Amino acid sequence: MRVRILLALLAVLPVLPARASNLIPPNPFTNDAAGTTAAPFLKFPTGAREEAMGGAAAGFTEGAGAMFYNPAGLARMEPESRPELSMAYSNLLETTYAGSAAFARPLRVGQTDQVVGAGLIYFSQSPQTSFNGQGDAIGAFTPYDAALNLSYARRIHSLLLGGNVKLIRSAVADTAGMGAALDFGAQYPHVTEIGDGALDLGGSLSNFGTPIRVGAGSSPLPMSFRLGSLWHTATFLNTALDVVVPVDQSPYVSFGVEAVEKQPGWAGALRFGYNQSNSRGVDGFAGLTAGAGLDIARFRIDYAWVPFGDLGTTNRVAMTFRF
């Protein structure tokens, strides 16, 4: 049996480089790979709490919106928690915009705590003018990208595990392409204590899937690895740190702090962060982020302000409903 397994592996090995070449661009994990991946909208932030903290989310993201950062964060929902619907809108640079919606429902199956969910990401911009081969305007079109995903997460003792299955579509004028991808994630709350505060750890693999062909070209997806932590520094303060390794640029770090005030019936937060990726190749004030949040009973609203230097500033608003 062992000999058969070894022979089967040897037969597969020559195929792996060819398969892998379809999943990653030339010069991967460096800035030389910038612009070589498809569906760049999959890299756009969807949450406001996470982005106000510089995008450092792998170790702490939670609730329905966690499926877009680290699906393991869904499993932080307790079996008795109410189902959540999270919706977000991002006013991006120039005339582009993005939106997302996520629904998550916790379940108790036997002795197992599970969470199921579904989500949608949408990206578009204002109508663009179409030209023929002679340079004459012949109409207008609105390009768009969308991704629909199904999510599942569960708790195994103290370990949280989760994953997404995604269907992706990109359309430009009358040409469109489709692809599929998987996301995987894990979180381990309260791994240890640093001083008087607990330390949570998390990691995720995003956008592992098939290349997308739009027209005559085919490009791999913007796959990325992320490792992060959340230190409950004090009863009112959280500190987050992520290391991100994207396939289409050099690795970078993101960092965030969150000051929380909790009172009976409500909680408020102020957030600040830094994202190294946002300041690369950008002149002017960039990299720093800020935002705030308010949680009242069954409703939560979060806001994030993310500047990109001379390119402009983006604003993100996310709302969560529990019912």
* Domains held by the chain: number: 1
> Is 161 among the domain residues?
yes
> Is 217 among the domain residues?
yes
CA-nearest of 296, 289, 298 to 48 is: 289
Least-confidence region, from 8-12, 20-24, 226-230, 295-299: 8-12
State which residues form the domain around 194: 28-322
CATH of the domain at 230: 2.40.160
> Is 23 among the domain residues?
no
Give per-residue pLDDT as tens, 70-99. 999 999 998 888 999 999 998 887 778 899
> Is 223 among the domain residues?
yes
Question: What are the CA-CA distances from residue 266 to residues 50, 78, 97, 294 (Å)?
Answer: 20, 19, 31, 7
Percent of the chain scored above 90 by pLDDT?
64
> Is 49 among the domain residues?
yes
> Is 3 among the domain residues?
no
Residue 189 amino acid letter: P
Q: Is 16 helix (H, G, I), strand (E, B) or coil?
A: helix
**Who has greater pLDDT, 70 or 8?**
70
Write down the pTM of the prediction: 0.87
> Is 167 among the domain residues?
yes
Mean pLDDT, rounded, for 294-316: 93
> Is 141 among the domain residues?
yes
